[in-house]
């Protein structure tokens, strides 16, 4: 599902300039975000990205580059801050404090017999 105009208006000022450091021009940021959203909503592989979004490698590389330079973190922080200020967030926190204790012998302690009881008896000449 493509971004709405209201969603785009919130995100656009948080994104970097459209001029890449090297090479040609970048594809429009809005199309790129739509491509990323399509990929994660469908769960499809990058190689199956529809042609209307351009080359999947370019989309993936920019996604990765924005993750490295902190763009996604800035966008997320700003959107969460704005939603919290507008009372659009529900801060429901759930903590699971389940503790499962293991027996002291369950930690992989070395056994006295390297073969196990039945095998040790068979080797010694028992059963």
Residues 49-95: tens digit of each pLDDT: 999 998 999 999 999 999 999 999 999 999 888 888 888 777 777 77
Domain assignment present for 105: no
Residue 118 lies in a domain: no
For residue 125, tell me if it sits in a domain: no
Closest CA to 31 of 23, 42, 11, 21: 11
**Listed range (29-33, 43-47, 86-90) with the worst mean pLDDT:** 86-90
Number of domain units in the chain: 1
Q: Write b or e for each residue in 7-41: b if 16 or more Cβ atoms lie within 10 A of its Cβ, otherwise e.
A: eeeeeeeebeeeeeeeeeebbebbbbbbbbebbee
Residues present in the chain in total: 127
100 in a structural domain? no
- Residue 73 is predicted with a pLDDT of 93
**What gap in Å lies between CA 35 and CA 1, rounded to an integer?**
9
Q: Alpha-carbon distance 89 to 38, whole Å?
A: 24
Angle between helices 56-69 and 29-42 (to 10 degrees): 100
| Stated pTM of the model | 0.63
> Does some domain include residue 108?
no
| Domain range for 37 | 5-85
In a domain, 72, yes or no: yes
In a domain, 67, yes or no: yes
Pick the closest to residue 1 from 32, 41, 54, 30 (CA basis). 41
Whether residue 66 lies inside any domain: the answer is: yes
Residue 120: per-residue pLDDT: 47
């Amino acid at each position: 599902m493509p971004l709405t105009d209201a969603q785009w208006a919130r995100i656009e000022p948080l994104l970097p300039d459209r001029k890449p450091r090297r090479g040609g021009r970048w594809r429009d940021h809005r199309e790129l975000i739509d491509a990323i959203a399509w990929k994660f909503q469908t769960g499809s592989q990058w190689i199956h990205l529809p042609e209307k979004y351009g080359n999947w490698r370019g989309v993936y590389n920019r996604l990765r580059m924005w993750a490295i330079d902190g763009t996604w973190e800035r966008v997320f922080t700003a959107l969460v801050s704005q939603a919290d200020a507008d009372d659009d967030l529900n801060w429901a926190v759930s903590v699971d404090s389940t503790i499962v204790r293991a027996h002291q012998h369950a930690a992989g302690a070395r056994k006295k017999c390297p073969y196990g009881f039945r095998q040790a008896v068979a080797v010694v000449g028992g059963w």
